[in-house]
């Protein structure tokens, strides 16, 4: 939903484990994070800056507007701020470059023994391929909407950047950026 490498993280995490591990929900759902927090369930929340999330969301799901994407961002991240000490917060960049280190932080925080993902190019590509296969099977997704880097979407994002930074979105953009900064300041990434 939020274009924050969540699908990649779920697949990579599952691929690394030596036993099946249940994942409660891998979309951005504040209710799931809050419930996990209250039940002391190991939880990873991936944090990506609002501009990148909004641009990625709009270019991969064209009916969504930038304002809607920012509203979704706020709906999720704002509501989990009070619970931020009860989950591991990993930056988007860390998830896509060193998920093993984040899994190590989860193990440290929750006393778990999850196997760390070995972040090689081969392992990463295998996970991206599995995510793409799943997305195609679920919605017959066109190639330019798959959750992986894409030249066409990059071009579209560049075209939308000025609109994202426009005065008409200043109110909600500022709110999203403030929430991002509050959470970013509480991560060890």
pLDDT at 63 over 90: no
pLDDT at site 132? 79
pLDDT at site 1? 41
pLDDT at site 147? 57
Q: Which band of pLDDT confidence, cut at 50, 70 and 90, is reported for residue 105?
A: very high
The HSE-up count of residue 50 (CA atoms within 13 Å, CB side) is: 29
- Given a contact cutoff of 8 angstroms between Cβ atoms, the answer to whether 69 and 53 are in contact is yes
In whole angstroms, give the CA distance from residue 116 to residue 14. 10
How much is the average pLDDT of 45-52? 95
Q: Which tokens is 110 given?
A: 């929750």
φ/ψ region of 140 (left if φ > 0, alpha if ψ in -120 to 50, else beta) reads: left
Prediction pTM value: 0.86
């Amino acid at each position: 939903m939020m274009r924050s490498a969540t699908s990649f993280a779920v697949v990579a995490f599952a691929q690394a484990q030596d036993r099946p591990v249940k994942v409660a929900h891998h979309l951005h759902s504040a209710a799931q994070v809050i419930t996990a927090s209250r039940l002391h369930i190991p939880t990873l929340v991936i944090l990506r800056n609002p501009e990148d999330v909004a641009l990625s969301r709009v270019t991969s799901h064209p009916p969504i507007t930038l304002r809607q994407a920012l509203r979704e961002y706020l709906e999720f991240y704002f509501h989990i701020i009070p619970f931020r000490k009860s989950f591991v917060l990993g930056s988007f960049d860390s998830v896509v470059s060193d998920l093993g280190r984040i899994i190590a932080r989860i193990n440290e925080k929750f006393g778990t023994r999850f196997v760390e993902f070995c972040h090689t190019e081969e392992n990463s590509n295998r996970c991206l391929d599995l995510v793409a296969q799943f997305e195609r099977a679920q919605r017959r997704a066109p190639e330019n909407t798959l959750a992986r880097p894409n030249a066409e979407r990059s071009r579209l994002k560049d075209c939308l950047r000025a609109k994202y930074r426009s005065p008409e979105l200043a109110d909600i953009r500022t709110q999203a950026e403030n929430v991002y900064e509050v959470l970013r300041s509480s991560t060890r990434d």
